[in-house]
Amino acid sequence: HDVHGRLDLNAALPTLAGMTGTDPVSVARALDNQIPLKTGSTTNISVVDAEGNACVVTTTLGLGSGVWIRGRGIHLNSMLGETELLAPGPLPRDQLSLSQPGNRMASMMCPLVVTNGDGLVLAAGSAGASRIRTALTHTLVGVLADGLSVAEAIARPRFHPANGILHVEPGLPESTLDALAEAGFTLRHWDAPDLYFGGASAVGASGAAGDPRRGGKGVLV
């Protein structure tokens, strides 16, 4: 499979490319670096038409500017004030620096499509700031490696490393938890699935699905 997406501050595509396997320990190790942590105001929509044309759009307000366009109801974002765009991250600053004229605006967002020789396999994106990479990695591993439906892959329990702690949603098999602990991760168990772990939406051969962590839906029309 070929995964196509934008270069982002989460390094989502380099993370996927650098994975040595799709078992939980390999996924956790690939995700385990210091990404700035932030709550966000991000949303994503993934759309595929009957001919296989795909569009994935992720939008965000960042912190929000407090400024509205009069008569339009549109709230302007404040992305130039985003700490993730200014702080050190996993990607070289010369690729993402806001200080260089002509550079594309950097972002945590990474809408993507997956293709193979037959065409489109998956269109996916996520909200969740620094957990966007985590949500997309888990979703792609579920669909492409584990053979799950889109809905199953999005709903499946996730884990996310941050500041030396591996945050874990309930429902992961005991064998997986044991393997992660034996690999040296310190686990923090959450009581319920949570939007902290990202909010993905995707469309694939098995259908469309939104993330139940944020009331997401998949609709066929």
Q: Looking at this protein, which amino acid is placed at residue 43?
A: T
DSSP assignment letter at 76: P
Return the active site residues.
42
Query: What gap in Å lies between CA 11 and CA 7, rounded to an integer?
Result: 7
Residue 68 makes CB contacts below 8 A (sequence gap 6+) with 74, 75, 76
3-class SS at 204? strand
Confirm if 8 and 89 have CB atoms less than 8 A apart. Answer: no
Query: What gap in Å lies between CA 127 and CA 93, rounded to an integer?
Result: 23
Q: Looking at this protein, which amino acid is placed at residue 127?
A: A
